[in-house]
Homo-oligomer: A and B are copies of this chain.
């Protein structure tokens, strides 16, 4: 039992060190040696649990996003019965995360690496992208059931429309990430732009 607790503490120290270091030195200079040194752990301990620095970083972001359980299924998007307000709240929270360099720097590091590493990309898709998309789809399906959203809407497209612009704007540094911007994304997707 004490062993297991020690093991869990080491694991958490490694995840914290990976997030911190990725933010400080960037992905290219991040190394398993560096993470081990910062965490006060052995390099071989890291390699016993993870195949690569990218895998450590993915677990670190998962743990940060979901809390200690590491399970996204435990999370639900808010549902107050007002889809517009709920989506705005979720996207505003995402803006805050992306504007926080402690989180944004390791996320950018992981994003860049995913483009070059198909194995890490598949792992990311299975463990983070797909379950998070499922959360979003669940909230949208409830809005369809409640009669707020048209039953004809293609909800997969709607997820891309709501979250894609913020992601692209952030990744390519194409403009400031503001709550005004995400509010407008939500309003535009809900209302459309056609003059009837």
Contacts and interface: CB of A to CB of B under 8 A. Distances in A.
A189 B111 CA distance: 27
Contacts of A192: 188-194
Interface in A123-177: 125, 129, 147-151, 153-154, 156-158, 160-161, 164-165, 167-169, 171-175
Interface of A is mostly: helix
Number of copies: 2
Residue among A121, A148, A165, A169 having the largest count of chain B Cβ atoms under 10 Å: A165
Given A190-B192, A195-B149, A114 B161 contact: no
A92 to B, nearest CB: 15
A1 interface: no
A188 B185 contact: no
A28 interface: yes
B174 A157 contact: no
A168 B169 contact: no
A173 B121 contact: yes
A89 B23 CA distance: 42
Interface string A80-107: 0000000000000000000000000000
A42 to B, nearest CB: 31
